[in-house]
Amino acid sequence: MKTALTLLGVVAACVSTTAQEKAVRVIDLGHAIQATDPTWDGAPAYQRNVVATIEKDGYTGGKITIEEHFGTHVDAPAHFAPGGWTVDRIPVERLYRPGLRIDVSKQAAANPDYRVTAVDIQQFEKSSGRIPEGAVVFIATGWDRYWPDRARYMNEKNGVKHFPGLSAEATTLLARDRRVAGIGIDTPSIDYGPSTGFEAHHVSMKLSVYHIENAAHLLDLPASGFQVVVAPINIAGGSGGPARVFAFVR
């Protein structure tokens, strides 16, 4: 009888685990890389050449050339901080973290030059709780709806780009006071388009906070209660790299 009960317990545990696994929804937070994707200056940043085909060689292969900060990508702290972590030096435990999503899509729709404020973050914390140390915080602006139309996505007028980002004050609150591991956004940069000094970058990167830029589908995320996997290409000495980014939502 005891053995039967034990077996029933194991079966119940397996069923429970399976049910939990089925309850997890995986959201891809990035764009697939294509040569026609928007680049910062409009110049080509990615090329893939076919070097082998099934018909000719019995297998398929290709050769790629790509910039480190192209498509959905990670900015390593070394991108702006002298002596900062290069992409291969970011501790791997900082790439699998609890995730949070702050929705500023209404503000961004009203003002393409919107900068997330410290008040926005404080308002988020009133409803969702204090941002825990080591979290990855995503700023959902809804700007990814313009991808991959470079003219609309970069929104450049008279030589000035116009898209939402974070203020230096909001970045300071996240990077210095909340000590987050990473900041993600669905625009080309965590700094808003008109910035020429990259003030937010200078705040976060010297504090070893990495960025995820050109993210996607952030409005599909809940405000909290999910885990994030950030997987940049592991370039030795790289200032960043294209990345796959996933959220696991229950």
With beta carbons less than 8 A apart as the criterion, state whether 27 and 217 touch. yes
pLDDT tens, residue by residue, 142-171: 999 999 999 999 999 999 999 999 999 999
Tokens of 186: 């669905």
Confidence class for position 4, pLDDT limits 50, 70, 90 = very low
> pTM for this one?
0.91
Q: Tell me, what CATH number does 71's domain have?
A: 3.50.30.50
At residue 22, the pLDDT reads 61
Name the residue range of residue 159's domain: 27-249
| 40 occurs within a structural domain | yes
| 3 occurs within a structural domain | no
At residue 23, the pLDDT reads 85
Q: How far is CA 111 from CA 115, 169, 203, 217, in A?
A: 9, 19, 24, 20
| 197 occurs within a structural domain | yes
Instruction: Please say whether the dihedral angle defined by the alpha carbons of residues 182, 185, 189 and 191, taken in this order, is positive or negative.
Output: negative
Give the chain's largest Cα–Cα span: 81
- Give the C-alpha separation, 60 to 38, whole Å: 27
- Give the C-alpha separation, 75 to 197, whole Å: 16
Domain total in the chain: 1
| 214 occurs within a structural domain | yes
At residue 9, the pLDDT reads 52
Tokens of 176: 């210095």
Residue 3 has φ and ψ, to the nearest 5°, of -65, -40
| 57 occurs within a structural domain | yes
| 15 occurs within a structural domain | no
pLDDT tens, residue by residue, 239-249: 999 999 999 99
The DSSP code sequence of 41-110 is: SSS--EEEEEEE-HHHHSS-EEEEEE-TT-SSEEE-GGGTSTTPPPGGGS-GGGGEEEEEEEE-HHHHHH
| 210 occurs within a structural domain | yes
Confidence class for position 72, pLDDT limits 50, 70, 90 = very high
Closest CA to 234 of 128, 35, 124, 90: 90
| 19 occurs within a structural domain | no
% of the chain residues with pLDDT over 90: 91
- As a whole number, mean pLDDT of residues 133-150 equals 98
